[in-house]
Amino acid sequence: MSDGYSPDATEEQKAVAQDLLDKIVDKNEKDTVIYSRYSETSDRYDMVMVVCNYNGPKETAAVVAEYFPRDRENVRFLDVAAGTGLCAVELRKYGFLKMDALDASPGMLEEAKAKGLYDQYIIDILGENTLDISTDTYDAVVMCGFSTEILQRLPMTAFEELIRIVKPGGYFINTGRKTMYTHDDGKAEQLKKQLKTLEANGKWKRVQMKHFKNYLKGADGAVSVHVICKRYIA
């Protein structure tokens, strides 16, 4: 039976990959510590994702392409939790060129800079804070591989900030483990409640939830798509 790793991976590579994953996926650490660990391991991150059969970026780009079938070179994205730019690599294959990166890990963005994938590289944390980005800047926000632990404890204001910077009619497209929506530890329920509350308040509307196989190490993944609703001025 497959262990979820790439069939070409050596036992040594698997051990290195698992060690890195254990460091950056720690339920007991503070968010700032996790972000720091991403920086510390950024030079090995791409290799580890290959070893772990990471297909999130490919699935994300394929879904994005469905919603932007034309004029792709002029569609402007913010790649949240951009990391080393793996999602941008896949988006470029479909002709998307205008992308900015946001990540809380300077080390990860340094790796992305070396690839020349983005127009802007923004180091910031998604949370209670206001992002230094103008309202209605982007046609879409994509988020692929954001730490499930951090995602499930984000405040409502973090999602409201992402909604604010996307044009009405644009999209928020998020990809991660299927369990981020289905796990029964209470955190998934909190996330689902927040997403539904934003929809009930007329901020956005979910238009797709796609499940797929082999997100990371054989685990099931999910891509959710929300369309940003029209803003009304009182």
- What is the spatial distance between Cα 124 and Cα 142, in angstroms, rounded to a whole number? 16
pLDDT score for 113: 96
pLDDT score for 186: 60
pLDDT score for 234: 39
Q: Return the sign of the alpha-carbon dihedral for residues 87, 178, 188, 42.
A: negative
Domain boundaries, the chain: 11-51, 56-228
Nearest 5°: the CA angle 209, 215, 219 is 100
Burial string for 1-34 (b: 16+ CB within 10 Å, else e) reads eeeebbeebeeebbebbeebbeebeeeeeebeeb
CA dihedral of residues 191, 232, 122, 172 (deg, nearest 10) = 40
pLDDT score for 187: 66
CA dihedral of residues 31, 24, 99, 174 (deg, nearest 10) = -80
Q: What residues of the chain score a pLDDT lower than 50? A: 1, 233-234
pLDDT score for 220: 94
CA 101 to chain centre: 11
pLDDT score for 233: 45
pLDDT score for 40: 80
Contact 203, 171 (CB under 8 A): no
* Nearest residue to 36 (alpha-carbon basis) of 104, 131, 110, 128: 104
Q: What is the CATH number of domain 56-228?
A: 3.40.50.150
